[in-house]
Chain A
Amino acid sequence: GEDVEQSLFLSVREGDSSVINCTYTDSSSTYLYWYKQEPGAGLQLLTYIFSNMDMKQDQRLTVLLNKKDKHLSLRIADTQTGDSAIYFCAESAASNYQLIWGAGTKLIIKP
């Protein structure tokens, strides 16, 4: 079945780059997404990438997609304290457009 995996924690120093990784299993996924969840708040869509692309950049965010290895990454440049959150990777199920989510990576910023 479909599955999305992420590491649970990532700790980086303020000002450094953060790279959050994700692997997925459904090779027919059409879109892959990164969402951000802050305490007490809903999920916020950060960015998404179509499966025929290998890179997408949006200001401080860079998404890399390796379709052969089914690996997705999110790079946050110049990480700030406001970036502290849980980051979820999700893929769209090709058959019915529902999202399949990873367990989330908690990004911890060290001063």
Chain B
Amino acid sequence: DAGVTQSPTHLIKTRGQHVTLRCSPISGHKSVSWYQQVLGQGPQFIFQYYEKEERGRGNFPDRFSARQFPNYSSELNVNALLLGDSALYLCASSWYREANEKLFFGSGTQLSVL
């Protein structure tokens, strides 16, 4: 079975541009979470979606948005890119949104903003 897949794996953008990152969860998983991991730090929670609805949002500006589709895949959008948005963006999926659930992570999208 395929794990969590993310695309693209690497991306280079310039300041002010817009980016869309994509995530396909494990088949049957209904919850998708997005995390930002800056080099040398732990992941920071951005969003959680469950059954196509936003169920949690971290402390990120409105430039960050996301959505979940009927097939449970998800997109993360970032507008007006800043140099500080350079990071590894991780997607995780799980069956539901319970506290003790295993989160299965993709390998991430490495975003570089120049």
Contact = CB atoms under 8 A, between A and B. Distances in A.
Interface of A: 4, 30-31, 40-45, 48, 50, 88, 90, 92, 94, 96-104
Interface residues of chain A: helix, strand, loop or mixed (majority): strand
Contact of B56 (A4, A30, A45, A97): A97
Contacts of B105: 42-44
Interface residues of chain B: helix, strand, loop or mixed (majority): loop
B107 A96 contact: no
Q: How large is the interface on B (under 10, 10 to 19, 20 to 34, 35 or more residues)?
A: 20 to 34
B56 A96 contact: yes
Contacts of A45: 102-104
A101 B44 contact: yes
B58 interface: yes
A42 B105 CA distance: 5
A100 B104 CA distance: 16
A104 B99 CA distance: 21
Interface stretch (B13-21, B35-43, B73-81): B35-43
Contacts of A90: 42
Interface string B47-58: 010000000101
A43 B90 contact: yes
A101 B42 contact: yes
